[in-house]
Structure 1
Amino acid sequence: MLARRVLRWTGDALAVFLVVSSAFLHGPQQAPRSASVVAVIAVVAAALLLLLRRRWPIPVLAGCVALYGLAAVTGTVAPGIILAVAIAMFGLANRSTRRVTILAAAITAGAVFLLSVLGAVVSASDPRMVQFTLAVAFAAAAGDATRSRREYIVAVTERAERAEQTREAEARRRVSEERLRIARDLHDTVAHQIAVISLNAGVASSSLESPERAQEALSTIRSASRTVLREIGDLLALLRAEDPDAETMTPPSGLGRLDDLVEQFARSGLAVHLRVEGDPGRVSGAVDLVAYHVIQEGLTNALKHGTDQRAHVLVEVADEHVTVVVTNPTVPSAGRAEVGGTGAGHGLIGLRERVASVRGVVETGTTAGGYRLAATLPLAKERP
């Protein structure tokens, strides 16, 4: 800020010096003393007016032209005032639009020409008239170029700032999406196995008088613990991988592994009745993975909150979509399953996000027969 003020004061001082000093330079033809005194007064007044050109550019330019006319009436050619007019023209062009600059330059050049001819200080064919006109035109062009360059720099700076803000917003969005993806994967990896461990730990503690049942529960806990440790290890390996798209050691889940999923829940004590209509082989990609997770989430909630330890799974593959429905008996107090069974709703929240990612629709709620989780997922159209 201080450097800008010093530069401004230096420019003002230099402009005043150049304008005033020109009043004491005389050509071969000396003007009358009275005219010279008037010219000096006019030049000094024009120089002082230049100090106000930043605040009032148009009045200052008009005042300089008027002072030139005053000098011309006395029969004196005042190059210093022409210099002041050029400086004022530059200041106006530097702070106005191009349209205003062109209009002001034309009026100023015409006014200088008329005042010179009317004052009989120079003739219309005098080379100095060309010099005066070129001085005004050059000052207008230089001021307009300076303004255009300043506006260009401002525009470039603003675009750079917007681009930086856009990059930061995109980075925050990517981080947020990655956090949500990790949260969903971690829930899908851990929630089911932890539920199995918790339920079987309760069975084992209540079956201490029945060694066989306790042994079976502890065996299930040991198996589930190994599974969850392996899956967490695969997830951590994926997070540490340089290539985020690299395949994990565990084969991707899908409807092809549905029998294994049902068997896992059967070992945990949940009787699952599975019915598949249509060809599951037509379901592939992200839709296949989402359908698997819908069934896994529904069976996990049935195991944690359902009654009678049984559930029904329906997979219906139609021409344009696949429908997955998981139902299980429940009691009114078990309505917490609608929010994922944890009270925070992370399970079904993540499930809704997964279903939405493939443009599907998920429905949850209690029915006459218990609790129902249903998802409709669109299939990719086959190319002919």
Structure 2
Amino acid sequence: MKVTAGVVAVIAVGCVLAVLTRPGVSPNALDLILPLVVCGALFLRRRHPVAVLLVVMIACAAYYPFARYDGPILLGALLALYTAADLGHLVAAGTVAGALLLGMGVGEAGGVRHVDNGLFLMIAGWLATAVAAGGVTRNRRAYLEEVERRAADAEHSREAEARRRATEERLRIARELHDVLGHNISLINVQAGAALHGIRKRPEEAEAALQAIKEASKETLRELRATLGVLRQVDEGAPTAPTASLGQLDEVVRRSGLAVDSDISVGAPPPVEIDLAAARIIQEALTNVSRHSSAGRARLSVAETSGKMVITVEDDGPSVVFAGGSGYGVQGMKERAAALGGTLVAGPRPEGGYRVVAELPL
């Protein structure tokens, strides 16, 4: 920081002024120039740490043997060493510190002792501490940057996960609404057509159709409220989930208006999510037969094989089905199966009609 360099400059200039005002001391040019050179170089140490380090060390090497006053520009050397190490030039800082100590040792071995052994060791300790402190602060800063980066990555991952879950929840609710509305509204449409067709010729059949419409609309409202409850929850507790299950197959089959040949062989009750998905797939497949096929009969098979629940719905209607449909029904069934790690295949049968086969892992 420039503030630190300014403090060193103030100390050095203060010492120079003290030399000039001290009686009996006659400073030479080096006493005045070298401290100012060191302090001026320190202001550039963040931009050019190695160059400043070399300038400061050369100034110190010329100052202490030749200047007449023993000033404190060694503080500038310590700051330059610390900055170089802090900015990642640890090898350069260590090399310069070692060269400085070696030069002091050679100078002291020349016969004239300027410092005793204790002072020499103290200076060596100062230089080593400056280099080590710079390395520690660099490592500390790198550690904090890594922590911040990981925290930012974790925050980004949490946001991405939240967006993914929100998308999955929207798709799940869309599937529920499609299945609930598509199935029941289709039944209402079929029964309404039957009521209109038989209201004059067979009033008793029209009455039964109207009763079926009443039940279907009531069931539609119930399941629609349960599905929309997911959207309303904030602090209201867990929402009421749709209650479709394999235990209601008889009701689903009855309301489909089809003659269904059922073959159900399921042992223990499956997990809730499997139970719901299986019931919705069967419901949607029968609805598609009712809406898009002229077949009045369908075959339904539910069996457990090799740890999987295999669901098959097929009819003997025309091979070309779903003309003009949106395709969301089949897509929704495939998404339900895939969400549980299963598969679903839907398509025309070679012998005519349509087949839906779903495999859900138990």
TM range (shorter): 0.7 to 0.9
1:298 maps to which residue?
A: 285
Q: 1:107 aligns with which of 99, 103, 113?
A: 99
1:77, distance to aligned residue in structure 2 (A): 5.7
Q: Given that residues 360 and 375 in structure 1 are in contact (C-alpha distance below 8 angstroms), is that contact kept between their aligned partners in structure 2? A: yes
The residue that corresponds to 2:297 in the other structure is 310
Amino acid at match of 1:147: R
Match of 1:272 in 2: 260
Instruction: Verify: 1:378 aligned to 2:347, yes or no.
Output: no
Instruction: Check conservation: 1:207, 1:214, Cα contact below 8 A.
Output: yes
8 A contact 1:76–1:121 mirrored in 2: no
Query: Residues 198-249 of structure 1, C-alpha deviation per residue, up to 9 Å, x if partnerless?
Result: 22233334445436144333322222111111222233445545443x665x
Counterpart of 1:364 in structure 2 is 346
**Per-residue deviation, 1:43:** 1.8
Percent of matched pairs sharing the same residue: 31
SS at match of 1:297: helix
Q: Match for 2:248: what amino acid?
A: R
RMSD of Structure 2 on Structure 1 (CA): 3.1
Secondary structure of 2:47 counterpart: coil
* Residues 1:172 and 2:163 are matched in the alignment: yes
Q: Distance in 1 between matches of 2:352 and 2:270?
A: 31
Deviations 1:12-43 (A, max 9, x none): 3323222232334459x99974x632232222
2:28 aligns with one of 19, 26, 36 = 36
Q: Which moved more, 1:209-218 or 1:228-237?
A: 209-218
- Aligned pair count? 356
Q: How far is 1:262 from its partner?
A: 1.4
The match for 2:125 is 134
Cα pair 2:245 2:276 within 8 Å, conserved: yes
Pair 1:41–1:234, CA change in 2 (3 A):
closer
Secondary structure of 2:28's match?
helix
Q: Does 1:282 align with 2:275?
A: no
**Amino acid across the alignment from 2:168:** E
d(CA) in 1 for partners of 2:332, 2:100: 72
Would the alpha carbon gap of residues 239 and 72 (structure 1) be closer, same or farther in structure 2, given more than 3 Å must change?
closer
Q: Where does structure 1 differ by over 6 angstroms across 4 or more consecutive aligned residues?
A: 29-32
Q: Secondary structure at 2:348's aligned position in 1?
A: strand
Structure 1 position 363, deviation (Å) = 0.9
CA distance in structure 1 between the partners assigned to 2:174 and 2:164 by the alignment = 15
Measured in 2, the distance between the counterparts of 1:43 and 1:238 equals 75
Residue 18 of structure 1 corresponds to 11
Uncovered stretches (5+) of structure 2, i.e. residues with no partner: none
Distance in 2, matches of 1:238 and 1:9, equals: 59
Q: 1:118 to 1:304 in 2, by over 3 A?
A: farther
Q: Secondary structure at the match of 2:295?
A: coil
Q: Is the 8 A contact 2:229 2:240 kept in 1?
A: no
Contact 2:191 2:213 in 1 (8 A): yes
Output the CA distance in 1 between the equivalents of 2:67 and 2:119. 15
Amino acid at match of 2:344: V
Does the CA-based 8 Å contact 1:23-1:78 persist in structure 2? Answer: no
CA offset at residue 99 of structure 1? 5.1
Specify every segment of 5 or more residues in structure 1 that has no aligned partner in the other structure, as ranges.
1-7, 380-384
Which residue pairs with 1:184 in the alignment?
Answer: 175
User: How many angstroms does 1:316 deviate by?
Assistant: 2.8
